[in-house]
C-alpha cells in the first residue's frame, strides 16, 4: 500500500508502471493507494476478498483529495461471494468517490467484462496483444486518456457490446487477428476467459467513444 507500491512497481512491465510513467510525463502527481496481486488459481475465499476490499476502501478514504483514479482490475477475478469480483469492487470505489470523478481502468483482453465494470468507470481499455507484451504501454495509454479527460480535451462516453460468441483461445494471437480502430478514441475487443470460474463467457467489445461525445450524465448514448 502507499509508497511501497511506487517502490515496487514504478519500473515494472505492469500497467501500474505505465500509470506512473504516463502521469509523470503529463506533469501529474501519482498517489499510490492499494495493490493486491495473485497468480491465476481458483476462486478467492469470501473472507479474504472482503478483507482486501475493506483495506482498499480504507486506503481510498485516507487519501487526500483526488482528481481522478487509474485502476488495473485485470477483469477476470472471481470470489466465492462475488462472481464478478472486479465489477463489485469498482462499484464500491465509485460509491466512495461519487459519480463525477474520472475513473479509467485497464483490463486483460481475457477479462470477463461486465455491465457493473462499465457503469463504475469512464473508460476501460485492454491490452492490445496476446501474448501480452504491452501491459506497461496499456498503462501509459490509460494515463494519457485520463490526462485528456482532466484537461477537458475529451468527454468520453463508454459503451459495450456483448455478442453471443466465444473465440477459442488458440485463435486469439493478435499478430494474426487485425483489430479495427474505426472512429473511436479506443476500441478494446475483450475475448473473455472462457475457462474461468466466473459468469462471463461471450466476447465483448468495449469502444470508448471519441471526444465529440457528451459527458457522462448528459444527453446522448451513455454507459
Average pLDDT of the chain is 83
CA separation for the pair 183, 222 (Å, rounded): 17
pLDDT band at 221 (very low <50, low <70, confident <90, very high): very low
Give the dihedral sign, CA 206/209/137/11. Answer: negative
pLDDT band at 186 (very low <50, low <70, confident <90, very high): low
Amino acid 212: pLDDT: 30
Q: Does position 196 have pLDDT exceeding 70, yes or no?
A: no
Q: Does position 208 have pLDDT exceeding 60, yes or no?
A: no
Of 28 and 213, more confident: 28
pLDDT band at 73 (very low <50, low <70, confident <90, very high): very high
Q: Does position 197 have pLDDT exceeding 90, yes or no?
A: no
Mean pLDDT of 96-117: 94
- The 8 Å CB, 24+ separation contacts for 211-219 are 211/148, 211/153, 211/154, 211/155, 211/156, 211/185, 213/155, 213/156, 213/157, 214/155, 214/157, 215/155, 215/157, 216/99, 216/100, 216/122, 216/157, 217/99, 217/100, 218/155
Q: Does position 175 have pLDDT exceeding 90, yes or no?
A: no
Packing angle, helices 46-62 and 85-97, rounded to 10: 20
Amino acid at each position: 500500500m502507499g509508497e511501497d507500491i511506487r517502490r515496487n512497481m514504478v519500473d515494472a512491465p505492469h500497467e501500474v508502471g505505465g500509470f506512473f510513467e504516463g502521469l509523470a510525463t503529463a506533469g501529474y502527481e501519482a498517489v499510490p493507494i492499494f495493490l493486491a496481486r495473485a497468480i491465476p488459481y481458483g476462486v478467492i475465499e469470501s473472507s479474504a476478498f472482503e478483507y482486501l476490499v475493506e483495506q482498499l476502501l480504507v486506503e481510498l478514504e485516507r487519501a487526500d483529495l483526488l482528481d481522478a483514479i487509474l485502476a488495473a482490475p485485470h477483469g477476470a477475478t472471481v470470489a466465492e461471494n462475488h462472481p464478478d469480483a472486479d465489477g463489485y469492487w469498482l462499484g464500491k470505489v465509485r460509491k466512495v468517490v461519487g459519480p463525477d470523478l474520472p475513473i479509467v481502468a485497464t483490463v486483460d483482453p481475457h477479462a470477463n467484462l461486465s455491465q457493473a465494470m462499465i457503469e463504475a468507470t469512464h473508460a476501460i481499455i485492454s491490452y492490445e496483444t496476446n501474448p501480452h507484451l504491452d501491459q506497461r504501454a496499456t498503462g501509459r495509454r490509460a494515463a494519457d486518456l485520463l490526462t485528456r479527460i482532466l484537461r477537458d480535451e475529451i468527454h468520453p462516453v463508454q459503451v459495450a457490446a456483448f455478442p453471443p460468441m466465444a473465440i477459442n483461445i488458440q485463435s486469439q494471437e493478435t499478430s494474426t487477428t487485425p483489430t479495427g480502430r474505426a472512429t473511436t478514441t479506443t476500441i478494446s475487443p475483450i475475448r473473455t476467459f472462457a475457462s474461468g470460474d466466473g459468469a462471463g463467457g461471450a466476447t465483448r467489445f468495449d469502444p470508448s467513444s471519441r471526444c465529440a461525445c457528451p459527458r457522462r450524465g448528459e444527453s446522448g448514448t451513455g454507459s
